[in-house]
Structure 1
């Protein structure tokens, strides 16, 4: 039997109203599709950095460009760096207040944020291996970006709340997925890199803190992640204004005194 849409619901690009969930991520609403239980819809309004883009047409044009570039980067994270990213599609339109609104239809990952999930003892070895590989891949991505420049994902490293340990429909084994897939982009100009180098170095420091936190939790070192981050540190120029911060992290990585093994 065909259901009658509730016309008091806000307009969306979908045939039927979206259903509520218990999830919320920063400024992003997370809804579900009644007839597609293995998908969720992430809804975000407005531009991420509140730029005065003027007309709705200009907002849409800028947002479309960000999504095209962001999708390329997310695909590269999945294919080249082996950072699991759920499959997704994007619909861009305008909301009731004439702001850009984008709807991201994404595979539902059944699991919990890595930051808060309780890992069972029998899973600890498997999860440690996944975390070591994941953090190492993130470090490699930051390092490559520092050397190559161009558009990059500026919020890949924030905390573990945007990482979900779980699985999607059809998978037997859990993985760690990067689920914060609305692209927040920065551009690194190698000829004039002062401002956006700061974003990269901040991500470098955050990743270092995440590695330390997980090492204490696991009771052993994340050797691959540590070595890749150290490789990054070794390429930062002494003339970079953030070099002292990087040097401090480098010295701790070289001492390797988080834990005794």
Structure 2
């Protein structure tokens, strides 16, 4: 499998000589495995004058990033929906699919670091709060009947156990190093296991959803939701039984203690020794 990149192209809290905000492109590599060394991930940054903000400038920057990396990624993720057209056009021009996604862990952390350590050192820096990306809450959709699991359960794993993921037999999946998510080896990581006789097709379909995170929602009724892309939401289960309700609350509490880290596993049955799918996820606030 080839590499996946994350990209942000937006204005920064820095003014040029004409009192116009300077823009910047950030490109970084997504970790795909729990054993990835964060320092080994490719990164590229370049400022852009406000007078040159367009898909052509971004395309040239992407070409330069590809040259520096030595190879092109198989897709590029971006979380900023208001930049959809420009980012998508630039990516298409260099022959790489662009994917709206909230799975931009490295990029989110890099932006936070630059807000604290880099931009304040630049001439023309304008302090203040960094505006977050306001996303409308999506209307949850029901999973297609053919793709609903026959059975599912809440489970937990020790963070140290997840270090063995590279040795597991997994059909579809993605992970990241826990140190990147600032999770200690002693942490308990919550998740769900979905069991289905159609485990592999279910895992294959879910792998194309650009998984973001799971969350227990009680805004209307108690239900477990799967967030995907940048604004998609799917109903995994409506929760009514008191015991399962308590487990769902426990899942959400454990997720918060693990800095938002959790997982989804898909197996053919509870006795299976392999996973049709396994994804390590993290809920983050953009």
- The structure richer in helix per residue is 1
Aligning the two structures, in what range does the TM-score lie when normalised by the shorter sequence? under 0.3
- The higher-RCO structure (CA 8 Å, 6+ apart) is 2
Instruction: Give the TM-score taking structure 1 as reference length.
Output: 0.26
TM-score by length of 2: 0.25
